[in-house]
Structure 1
Amino acid sequence: MKRARGRGPLSTVVGIVLLALMLFPVYWMVNASLQPAGSTLRGGWFPLHPDFGGYAVALREQGRNLLTSLLVSLGSVVLGLGLAAPAAHALARFPLRGTRAVLLAVLVTQMVPGIVVADALYDAYAGLGLLDSYLGLVLADSTAGVPFAIIILHAFMRTIPGEIIEAARMDGAGRLRVFRSVVLPLSTNALVTAAVFTFLFSWSDFLFALTLTSTPSVRPITLGIYEYLGAHTDQWNAVMATSVLASLPAALLLVLSQRFVTAGATSGALR
């Protein structure tokens, strides 16, 4: 008992120190974004006189890239869930041979290096005319989200009681109606979890954007920051302001969906 009491405050202190170390880069990013233009080493530890000029430059020069990332990420979520939800339902409910082999194959696709997929997609896109296009980026980014979504949704859908589905079938609902009106509403937590991670995969993509785009008209924010660094290394406040703006959608999405993600990630194991 005494050891447990002694470990409580010590564990709290250690946790606070580790959390502060992990969050310090985020704090410095925000702090540097509010400093005047110039080297971040000349900035203070606290923005006593915040300067929002960096945000004005970031919105003027990177606003289009932010919009591109948003459109591509939302498109990847729609496409990913549209493919993953029916596939997961079929693997969970229909008596198919080789279900485990299919799930293993889906899992293996997550282990393929992204550069291998990017090179293959470049050759295919060059022939199909999908280079430098929103559709091309959506299709490419979905390759990371669909396998993960299938695994998450399958783990949840297999726990849905068969009696509920059979009751809906007895009431005259077809397979499509059961899937749309029964399975999907019951799988809300898993759907939100899959959607969040698919969005994050697409929002943080750099490799596909670097390989499959070459024009400013279709350039996500990750590639915009990369090229922005090479062109404006003296305007670190604008660089950091762009990083803050690029982090806000992902952070806001995680905060709003935290309850659903926690339930969706653990429901398959608990039921």
Structure 2
Amino acid sequence: MHDEPGSVVFDIAAETGTTFVPCAQQGPGCDPFQNAIDFVELVAMRDRFAHPQPVGWLFEQIDALGPRLSDLPTAETFFGVELSAVPDLYASARTNAYRGVGSVKAPSVGPWLTAAPHAATLVPTPPVVGPGGGAALDGNFPQTFGDLPAYDTYYMPSNYVVLDSFYGSYSATFGIDPYEELHARNFVRNLAYVETFVTNAAWDLVIWGPAIPAAMAEHDDLLTDVTWEPDEPMGAERPGRIVVHYAPGAFGLPAGTIREIRMPAYQASHTVPLDAPVEIAADIEAWLSP
């Protein structure tokens, strides 16, 4: 969608005095998504996750959070919990903690990832961790909870092991392809049983809200109608929802099954709680209320 006339990428080009050349003008072999992202970050020098900001802005914010969340009083204020009263946080209680290899590790590159057009988007460079494993990230937590072995850490900026489960080289052993159509179909299936809330963040070019209903509508063997209603439900301070009608017999569901995804809009980056913490908290609380 970023490649289409009138997209936000053309607006970014106008704002920065640069020129965006869509794939339609480049010929075969041009990937529309990667073409747009490359332009935004390499030419316009804007952040793909927060396009009004300079390139790299979001990861700078994430890096700045580490020392703050690794300070026990600050973390307790953030979580609203007296962490020293949580028994399982103490080193003595973590003998069965998940064990990383050495420390926080980067994903290994799978056979399809090297050729994947979005590889750079999906597998960022992990933080550099010192000889003590995660100790460099743990701040003053060890003073209260005790020192941890190198394979454990109190603070992890991102769980690369989860990412690795889809994009790592060992995934090929199980035939896992991150671009497999099955993932999209499973999302449609899960929606039938799981109440779903997603965000529509206006500044995020990677998870582009308007693309979600458009992508779902492609599964016309499972869904008879997918309607994005940006002004519904009425009365919501931040409206937005997707109404999904399942095809007869899809996943063995009863005829006429209809599901709704709550998708409020935010003037925010990829990390909505960073830019609109009060708003998203209120929306989630209202969504969870009976």
Question: TM-score scaled to structure 1, two decimals?
Answer: 0.22
Q: Which of the two has greater helix per residue?
A: 1
Q: Which has the higher contact order (CA 8 A, sep 6+)?
A: 1
